């Protein structure tokens, strides 16, 4: 395989030099943080008076964690480290659960973010000859503009199609010979279902690759999308607090996400004891951003559960790789006392060939007990009106799930395309239990 690097020197920097760079950048970002109302108090309370107090990379542990709650408490400008006149853009979470978390960017910040994005895109084998259809929400969400600027930097022809409207997406793909798409994995599966429904022939498309991220998905889901669409799918991870996409990305080997350690310091901690975990152990990812001046954020608790690969990647990049994020610590469901991540269900059902591309998990109270229902679509070829084969399939799915999750679920089968599809991140779980339980 011909490995291509956007910035070989930085991507393959010896670990010793990478860590030396991180230490200098950490000192700098600590100094930058002192310009914010929030961190000047927070850091002083922790006995840190300037970046000079950070003598080694281990000193990062003296810095208190930052949480989503902190970002909200500092809304709107308590964490801004530059004059407002230097800010050229903001991005914000949807704020559906309260005050939105808002991130500000200077011109330099946008340039840095676009460079990390270009690095990610190029690492998958894309070049300026590609035609890139960005099938994700633009606007306050970072997925649209983040990829847009990175792809332009690579020199690709960008089609800013946004999410939704599959008929139009197919038309654009055909008219302009799109070679790469970006979307959530759930929207990619929806696109594939619609392709079959609308009779769009794979041969009429020039698609080679897809970038899929912004929500968790299993390795089986990746394989399913790759097989159905005959493309390579690359996992893309990021979060708005850390710019958005471009934090970690898979290279041509598709085996773990390289986190760009010249721009981010990543730690994995035990979410209960808050102690750092040894390399290779699974825990909560904590990130410090080094590549931003307007909104410095130190030791941010992402809630995302992952671990580091312990061996280096054969692509030669020295930046460590993260395992696929299986879910968030706050995604975990407790059903009749059993802990369950939605990803465990996805892993089982996406491996069954009769199961279609969409599913939904519903948890409700039935008397004193919790009742878990898994609604799945069935492929058009396997869906029948005859109830006998359908019941047999239902039982097989329920049995397979029970072995893997230790909960006996109710299974409902639905016709292909009949479960609700979201244009943004997929809503996979509906928990109808009263909140105080």
Alpha carbon 14 to its chain centroid, in Å, reads 27
d(CA 156, CA 176): 12
- In this chain, which of 106, 178, 302, 357 binds ligand DLL, going by CB under 6 A? 302
Q: Closer CB to ligand DLL, residue 213 or residue 283? A: 213
- In this chain, which of 239, 251, 333, 374 binds ligand DLL, going by CB under 6 A? 239
Under the criterion CB under 6 A, does residue 235 sit at the interface with ligand DLL? yes
Contact 192, 350 (CB under 8 A): no
# residues contacting ligand DLL (CB under 6 A) = 19
d(CA 385, CA 246): 46
Under the criterion CB under 6 A, does residue 405 sit at the interface with ligand DLL? no
Task: Give which of 355, 391, 360, 356 is closest to 374, Cα–Cα.
Answer: 360
> DSSP 3-state assignment of 321?
strand
Return the residues of window 119-158 that contact ligand DLL according to CB under 6 A. 142-143
Under the criterion CB under 6 A, does residue 318 sit at the interface with ligand DLL? no
Q: How far is the CB of 134 from ligand DLL (least distance, A)?
A: 10
Under the criterion CB under 6 A, does residue 256 sit at the interface with ligand DLL? no
Under the criterion CB under 6 A, does residue 421 sit at the interface with ligand DLL? no
Under the criterion CB under 6 A, does residue 178 sit at the interface with ligand DLL? no
What are all long-range contacts of 322-327, with beta carbons under 8 Å and residues at least 24 apart? 322/237, 322/248, 322/256, 322/257, 322/259, 322/266, 322/285, 323/256, 323/282, 324/216, 324/217, 324/218, 324/219, 324/235, 324/256, 324/257, 325/216, 325/237, 325/285, 326/216, 327/216
Task: Give which of 398, 399, 394, 372 is closest to 383, Cα–Cα.
Answer: 394
Q: How far is the CB of 371 from ligand DLL (least distance, A)?
A: 27
Identify which range of 18-26, 81-89, 191-199, 207-215 contacts ligand DLL by CB under 6 A: 207-215
Identify which range of 11-19, 169-177, 212-220, 367-375 contacts ligand DLL by CB under 6 A: 212-220
Q: How far is the CB of 325 from ligand DLL (least distance, A)?
A: 4
Q: How far is the CB of 179 from ligand DLL (least distance, A)?
A: 19
Q: Are strands 369-378 and 244-250 parallel, antiparallel or unpaired?
A: unpaired
Instruction: Report the DSSP beta bridge partners of residue 211.
Output: 182, 234
Binding site for ligand DLL (CB under 6 A): 93, 142-143, 213-216, 235-240, 244-245, 302, 304, 325, 328
């Amino acid at each position: 395989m011909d490995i291509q690097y956007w910035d070989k020197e930085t991507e393959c920097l010896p670990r010793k030099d990478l860590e030396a760079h991180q230490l200098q950048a950490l000192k700098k970002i600590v100094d930058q943080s002192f310009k914010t109302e929030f961190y000047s108090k927070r850091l002083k309370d922790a006995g840190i008076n300037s970046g000079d107090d950070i003598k080694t990379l281990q000193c990062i542990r003296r810095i208190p964690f930052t949480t989503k709650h902190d970002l909200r408490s500092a809304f709107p400008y308590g964490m801004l480290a530059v004059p407002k006149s230097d800010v050229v853009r903001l991005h914000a979470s949807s704020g559906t659960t309260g005050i939105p978390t808002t991130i500000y960017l200077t011109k330099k910040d946008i340039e840095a973010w676009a460079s990390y994005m270009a690095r990610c895109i190029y690492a998958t084998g894309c070049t300026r000859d590609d035609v890139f259809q960005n099938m994700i929400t633009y606007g306050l969400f970072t997925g649209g503009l983040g990829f847009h600027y990175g792809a332009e930097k690579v020199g690709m022809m960008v089609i800013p199609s946004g999410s939704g409207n599959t008929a139009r997406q197919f038309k654009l793909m055909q008219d302009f010979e799109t070679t790469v798409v970006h979307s959530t994995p759930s929207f990619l599966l929806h696109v594939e279902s619609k392709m079959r429904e609308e009779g769009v022939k794979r041969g009429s498309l020039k698609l080679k690759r897809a970038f899929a991220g912004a929500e968790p998905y299993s390795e089986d889901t990746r394989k399913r999308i790759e097989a159905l669409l005959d493309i390579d799918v690359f996992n893309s991870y990021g979060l708005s607090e850390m710019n958005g996409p471009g934090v970690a990305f898979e290279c041509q080997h598709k085996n773990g996400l390289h986190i760009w350690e010249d721009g981010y310091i990543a730690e994995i901690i035990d979410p209960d004891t808050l102690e750092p975990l040894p390399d290779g152990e699974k825990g909560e990812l904590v990130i410090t951003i080094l590549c931003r001046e307007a909104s410095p954020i130190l030791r941010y608790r992402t809630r995302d559960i992952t671990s580091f690969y312990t061996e280096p990647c054969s692509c030669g990049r020295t930046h460590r790789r993260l395992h696929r994020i299986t879910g968030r610590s706050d995604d975990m469901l407790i059903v009749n006392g059993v802990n369950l991540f939605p990803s465990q269900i996805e892993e089982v059902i996406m491996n069954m060939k009769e199961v279609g591309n969409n599913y939904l998990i519903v948890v409700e109270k039935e008397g004193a007990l919790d009742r878990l229902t898994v609604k799945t679509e069935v492929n058009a070829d396997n869906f029948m009106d005859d109830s006998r084969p359908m019941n047999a399939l239902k039982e097989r799915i329920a049995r397979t799930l029970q072995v893997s999750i230790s909960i006996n679920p109710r299974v409902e089968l639905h016709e292909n395309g009949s479960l609700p599809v979201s244009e943004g991140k997929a809503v996979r779980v509906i928990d109808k239990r009263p909140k105080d339980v």
